[in-house]
Amino acid sequence: MDKKKDFRREPLTDTQLLMMITVIIFLAMYFLAMALLGGGFLHAQQIFDMLNDNAPLIIVSCGLTIVMIGGGIDISVGAVTSLVVMSCVLFLNNGGNIFTSILLALGIGLAFGLVQGFLISYLEIQPFIVTLAGMFFARGMTTILSVNPQKAENGAFNALREKKIEIGFLGYTAKNGNFVPARMELGVVLALLIVLVIFILLRYFRLGRGFYAMGGNQQSALMLGINVKRTRFMSYVISGLLSGISGYVFMMHTGAGNATNAAGMEMNAIASSIIGGTLLTGGVGNVFGTFFGTMTLTTIKKIVVSSGLNEPWWQSITTGGMLCFFILLQSVVLGRRNRSKKV
């Protein structure tokens, strides 16, 4: 007699469940904005504008998600991004070329990742203290390079910066009757590729699974034969490297360097990761969730501005309120889930 096949689906993991909640909330918010506010929300270009403006944030948030999954924190990412922008702008304006400026950006990000990762992983200094020092150091170095805003004047770089990917079938007809194709910056393509690469790393590679194990329970990770120190070190190296890439994408978007560039980016990156389902306690998180967390955060800001509340503090208030809502939602959902498992 043939055994009956069991077609019962595997239950969703905490990571998948929280990511699904984020995606549903993002879609609900966006469609609600389309129905109630209309305007730019009715055009695909609104999505592309959100991606164009937030490509650097998406990249930084991916790095921070890895660190947070491993149970750590990195609040230097915004300052490192700012330092990379100013350094590369000045380098390009003083005879540098695009290729070497990219190496400079990667080198700065990698240097911060290596130093901070070593101090945190092998000297066992608290991550908050180390990355706080890194943040102050990067901000100070940015100011030393130039107090005044610096505009990139390299012709080859500006030509590259002006290139856009046009998607004709997603365009729209303006009020003057002209057809406007949807446009996406090159930095968005890079950001989306990084999201995909990090997802594959976390899902299919031993190092990625080590981040989850380390964040879930460090002692259990050690018993499984995972080199916890090296794994934690690699999480900060990846975060630093992605901060360097984010800085270059930021420069391609703005074309200028400023001492206040990327101010508050680290807080937005943390918020995006949490909204996307990454737990501060570690062990749970997904970069696709982080991507939708960034888009959710941006959507609520767009809704606030479209509603006529243009003062910057309204965006801060709504961001704080949304962050509290998602933390509470995570606590309730995971609490009920754990109780049902025990039953």
CA 265 to chain centre: 9
SS3 string, the chain, reads: CCCCCCCCCCCCCHHHHHHHHHHHHHHHHHHHHHHHCCHHHHCHHHHHHHHHHHHHHHHHHHHHHHHHHCCCCCCCHHHHHHHHHHHHHHHHHCCCCHHHHHHHHHHHHHHHHHHHHHHHHCCCCCHHHHHHHHHHHHHHHHHHHCCCCEECCCHHHHHHHCCEEEEEEEEEECCCCCEEEEEEEHHHHHHHHHHHHHHHHHHHCHHHHHHHHHHHCHHHHHHCCCCHHHHHHHHHHHHHHHHHHHHHHHHHHHCEECCCCCCCHHHHHHHHHHHCCCCCCCCCCCHHHHHHHHHHHHHHHHHHHHCCCCCHHHHHHHHHHHHHHHHHHHHHHHHHHHHHHHC
Task: Fill in the amino acid letter for 108.
Answer: I
190 to 56, 61, 72: CA distances (angstroms):
10, 14, 25
pLDDT of residue 253: 93
pLDDT digits (tens, 9 = 90+) for 90-133: 999 998 899 999 999 999 999 999 999 999 999 999 999 999 99
**Residue that has been written with the tokens 């194990």 in this structure:** 213
Give the alpha-carbon dihedral of 137, 235, 255, 193, to 10 degrees.
180
CA distance 279 to 277: 6
Burial class (CB in 10 A: 0-12, 13-18, 19+), 171: middle
User: Residue written as tokens 């420069």?
Assistant: 251
What pLDDT is attached to residue 342?
A: 58
Confidence at residue 7, expressed as pLDDT on a 0 to 100 scale: 45
Confidence (pLDDT) at 217: 87
Q: Among residues 56, 84, 53, 112, which one has the least CA distance to residue 258?
A: 84
- Given this model, what pLDDT does residue 339 score? 65
Burial of 95 from C-beta contacts in 10 A (0-12 / 13-18 / 19+): exposed
Find, among 199, 191, 244, the residue nearest to 77 by Cα: 244
Residue numbers in the chain where pLDDT is lower than 70: 1-11, 336-343
Amino acid letter, residue 319: T
